Structure 1
Amino acid sequence: MPLLTWARLGVAAPFDPDHAFVTSPFLPRSALAALRALLALYALCTVITDLVLAVRDGAGHSFLSYFTQLSYIGLTAYYVAAAVQTIAYARWGRYPLRRWPRALQVAHVLLQSTIVVFPFIVTVVFWALLASPETFATVYSAWANTSIHALNSVFALVELLLTNAPPAPLLALPVQIICLAGYLGVAYITHEAQGFYTYPFLDPSKQHGVLAAYIVGIALGAALVFSLTRGLIMLRMRLVGLMRIRKGSDGLAERDGEGLEEWEEVGRPAENWAAGAAGKEGAGKENGGV
């Protein structure tokens, strides 16, 4: 089997047959749509406010030089996209991403994989290495730092724990490592072009040999967080499946987003899937399920 296939990238045909990317094991579809829309709006307002004030203070030219800002923009973009897809599913019982080209489906899957990993890295690095007395010096700095360096991880936990989203494909990890390596280029280009290091620990004249340890440590940390989040998602799927079995309710078992075993059935024929999907949507409407 080739190393790089659509299935290995998380978009086996048909894409998302159980509507896992737009459903929750705990919330009705309308509630999940509202929650994602609320988080998307909050994140979008945070990004716009931060950018406007950066431009006002003459720092707009370096706004995109920080990994914190880039990762938060990615988080915002995902929640906006996920909110749109979930609202469509809540309203019509289907969502457009399932009919879009494979490349866009891969982009959605890979973006989703980053927003459950990068926020934790940002939170840990900021509070362990970068936080200072100025972090809460003003009302605005307290709000901005809390939103970007703490609530970002809360947003990630919402995606991990309150949705039926499956584990990220294993190929998402090298993609994330490439993104982190690419950011090093951004940081050093910023130094050459604007004369400052975005993060003090990236300064080789001060850190010397420790710099390599920081870089390797962050890469290893990303791999660890990636593994932990995949494990947490699998555990959530297993526990949800066991809860439904113990309740002995056919209605619950028929709802969108099954247990871990469902995700192993990626090769079933399209005809069987179409009939099953139609039955699930009908059962979901009759039972008011997610």
Structure 2
Amino acid sequence: MSRAEFDREHKLVTSYLFPPFALAGARLSIAFYILVTLVFQLAWESTKDDSIDSFFSYFTNLTFIGLCAYFFASGVQTFFYARSPISDYPLQSWPRILRYLHVLLLSTIATFPLLVTIVYWALLASSSTFATPYIAWSNISKHALNTVFALFEVTLTSIGPMPWIDLPATLVMLGGYLGVAYITHATQGIYTYSFLDPKKQGAKLAAYIVGIAVGQIVIFVVVLGIIHLRERFTVHKSIKNLAKY
């Protein structure tokens, strides 16, 4: 896709509901909340829990970092667009690889948080989920608000459908994470998620891996459907709002 064709309708930086400055503010506010959460958790686990070594080995944390990166990137791009909404925004003139990576990052934050939330509450949540105020806040932020943030982007902005090529790309990422999980076990002696332990799970391990891959496919398709429905029912409102800018 040429620079002239990339996001000609400015869907990546607009909303059918919010004016550009409000959308930029919302995205950056989400980004700052996630950043503060991550920094606090890094500090806490470095000093209180002594579990910082494995922090970046958890898919939950990696996905949360991805959310932070996306909302900062999209918020900044939206801010520049808001300053002059009849012109382009910086991403449109950047190299093709950076434009694609932004769209791919969008595809991950629109689907992975939902996968994380479903897997956590279906397989991993326990009586210790709300054991202390810190643990409760951490779990709510990373296993509930993460999906709220993703759905905000999917339902309340004007982003278009993710390209189908991003589906196999996200599956490759999930496959790559298995390598991270087993490298962590080899180097630190822990399984980041109990269902990845082959000794405990046996034949169920393959079922869990396949199930998560199928879950990602289903979530990707459902999110695409939500975006198509949102576009169908908000197209006239979007056109009306754009006319005001």
Normalised by the size of structure 2, how large is the TM-score? 0.95
Shift of 1:180: 0.3
The number of equivalent residue pairs is 242
Cα distance per residue 1:55-86 (max 9 Å; x no partner): 21321111111000011101110001011111
Percentage of matched positions with identical amino acids: 51
Shift of 1:253: 2.9
Show the counterpart of 2:219.
225
C-alpha distance in 2, partners of 1:211/1:12?
45
- Checking the alignment, whether the CA contact within 8 Å between 2:16 and 2:156 is kept in structure 1 is yes
- 1:205 corresponds, among 178, 184, 199, to 199
C-alpha distance in 1, partners of 2:109/2:138?
19
Letter in 2 for 1:36: R
C-alpha distance in 2, partners of 1:178/1:105?
20
Shift of 1:104: 0.4
Shift of 1:235: 0.7
> Tell me, which stretches of 5 or more residues in structure 2 are unaligned?
none
C-alpha distance in 1, partners of 2:239/2:116?
37
Show the counterpart of 1:272.
none
- Checking the alignment, whether the CA contact within 8 Å between 2:108 and 2:170 is kept in structure 1 is yes
Structure 1 or 2, whichever has the larger Rg, is 1
Answer yes or no: is 1:95 the counterpart of 2:123: no
Q: Write out aligned runs for 1:43-62 (5 A).
A: 43-56=34-47, 57-62=49-54
Show the counterpart of 2:234.
240
Rate the CA distance shift 1:212–1:183 in 2: closer, same or farther, 3 A: same
Q: Write out aligned runs for 1:121-136 (5 A).
A: 121-136=115-130
C-alpha distance in 1, partners of 2:200/2:100?
40
Range that drifts further, 86-95 or 213-222: 86-95
Answer yes or no: is 1:73 the counterpart of 2:59: no
Answer yes or no: is 1:64 the counterpart of 2:56: yes
Range that drifts further, 80-89 or 92-101: 92-101
Shift of 1:12: 7.3
Show the counterpart of 1:279.
none
Show the counterpart of 2:75.
83
Normalised by the size of structure 1, how large is the TM-score? 0.81
Q: Secondary structure at the match of 1:116?
A: helix
- 2:17 corresponds, among 26, 46, 65, to 26
Alignment root-mean-square deviation, CA: 1.4
